[in-house]
Amino acid sequence: MKNKFMMIIMTLLLSLGLAACGGSGGSTSSVKGTTFDAGKFEVFVPDGWKAFHGADFFGDYEEGYDPHVVNIGKGIEEEYELFSYPLANITYSGEDNPLVKPTKDIYENGKDLEDITTGDYTWEVFTADSLSYPVAVLYTEFDDKQIVVNITLENGGEKVSLEDADILALLAGIKPKE
């Protein structure tokens, strides 16, 4: 009887331990949000974050914005607040706009991390400091296309992590429209 009781306790503890350690961070299934149409791609924007189109600095696009870029800020309401809080800048390339693979050499304190898999993508990842702000840079390529995501991990007294369910859901929710 004592052994049976111990077996039940050990099974429960092992089950809890496996549930706590599974995956590459928090569960993304419970993250609520909306889909944002960036132009060339769509991206999932978690509740509490807000997305804005990338600027068309040179007037190259008839849409009035760069359909390859979206900026998503945490805890903001207006576009001017983007650089005051954690930020995810997503650049997507199609055949018309090839990207250069990012390198940690242009940053300070660059450090490679293990690849992260979210949804359909496996991301190469490094962290670094950019203008004294901690950032994570993620890169993936598929079918002659690339996606680069730059995440400001800490800003305005707020922090995010690559293990946050919001970040993982955002990364998994990038979907090309081409």
Q: To which residue do tokens 């569960």 refer?
A: 27
What is the fold, at CATH topology level, of the domain defined by 28-176?
Protein Transport Mog1p; Chain A (3.40.1000)
Tokens linked to 66: 């760069």
Say whether pLDDT at 13 is over 50: no
In the DSSP assignment, the letter for residue 25 is S
Of 60, 54, 39, 146, whose CA–CA distance to 99 is shortest?
146
* pTM for the structure as a whole: 0.82
The C-alpha atoms of residue 21 and residue 2 are separated, in whole angstroms, by 29
Mean pLDDT, range 147-161, rounded to an integer: 96
Of 67, 79, 73, whose CA–CA distance to 38 is shortest?
67
Listed by start position, the domains of the chain span 28-176
The C-alpha atoms of residue 68 and residue 144 are separated, in whole angstroms, by 15
In the DSSP assignment, the letter for residue 90 is E
Q: What is the pLDDT of residue 144?
A: 86
Q: What is the pLDDT of residue 25?
A: 44
**Residue that wins the pLDDT comparison between 97 and 22:** 97
The C-alpha atoms of residue 20 and residue 85 are separated, in whole angstroms, by 29
Cα distances (Å, whole numbers) of residue 145 to 9, 54, 101, 120, 121: 50, 18, 11, 13, 12
Q: What is the pLDDT of residue 27?
A: 55
The C-alpha atoms of residue 94 and residue 112 are separated, in whole angstroms, by 26
Mean pLDDT, range 138-142, rounded to an integer: 94
Per-residue pLDDT tens over the stretch 70-127: 999 999 999 999 999 999 999 999 777 788 899 999 999 999 999 999 999 999 999 9
The C-alpha atoms of residue 12 and residue 25 are separated, in whole angstroms, by 21
Contact at 8 Å (CB) between 85 and 75? Answer: yes
Mean pLDDT, range 60-65, rounded to an integer: 91
For residue 20, the surrounding DSSP H or E stretch is: helix 2-21
Mean pLDDT, range 141-148, rounded to an integer: 92
46 by DSSP, 3-state: which?
Answer: strand
Say whether pLDDT at 41 is over 70: yes
